[in-house]
Amino acid sequence: MSYLADSNILTRLAQKQSQHYPFARRAVISLRRQGEEICIVPQNLIEFWSVATRPAVNNGLGLTASEAKLEIRKFRRLFKFYDDKFGIFDEWENLVAKYQVSGKNVHDARLVAAMIKHNFTHLLTFNGKDFKRFGEIIVIDPQSF
């Protein structure tokens, strides 16, 4: 099976002081030991950059652009990177219409669209409630490891 690491997994892995860091790290290690493939897509890295370079007072990590770039390089070595492929937008459009997705959750729908197009079955995320509506995927909480 292939797991997509949600952007919040990347964010927590970049924050060793976060209370969620140990859960994210343990989940990644456990899945690897089980021989599972953990993947990322461009949307993950775009969302990470947004959070990473936002000031900490605005719920960001407060990293510089250079620091964020280094973190992204680490993630691209740690996880298998799948570039965008044809049809993700059309899949996203179908999902947001089917599930009546609005607001910031449209970004989550794009991750699900990428999962469908790349045949990923599982999503590793701390925000399971944001993805429960999507019957096409299986949501896994890192705290369950």
- pLDDT-derived band at 109, boundaries 50, 70, 90: very high
φ, ψ dihedrals at 41, nearest 5°: -130, 165
**CA of residue 56 relative to chain centroid, distance:** 20
Instruction: Provide the 3-class DSSP secondary structure of residue 4.
Output: strand
Is a pLDDT exceeding 90 seen at residue 105? yes
Residue 1 has pLDDT above 90, yes or no: no
Mean pLDDT of all residues in 32-43: 97
pLDDT for the residue numbered 35: 96
Which domains are delineated in the chain? 2-41+72-144 (3.40.50.1010)
pLDDT > 90? residue 138 = yes
Mean pLDDT of 8-22: 96
Report the alpha-carbon distance of residue 102 to residue 118 in Å, rounded.
24
Share of the chain above pLDDT 90, in %: 99
- C-beta separation of 39 from 59 below 8 A: no
| Residues whose CB falls within 8 Å of the CB of residue 109, separated by 6 or more in sequence, listed in order | 92, 95, 96, 99, 101, 134
The residues, any chain, with a CB within 8 Å of residue 129's CB and separated by 6 or more, are none
- For 112-124, what is the mean pLDDT? 97
pTM of the complete model: 0.95
Per-residue pLDDT of 45-65, as tens digits, reads: 999 999 999 999 999 999 999
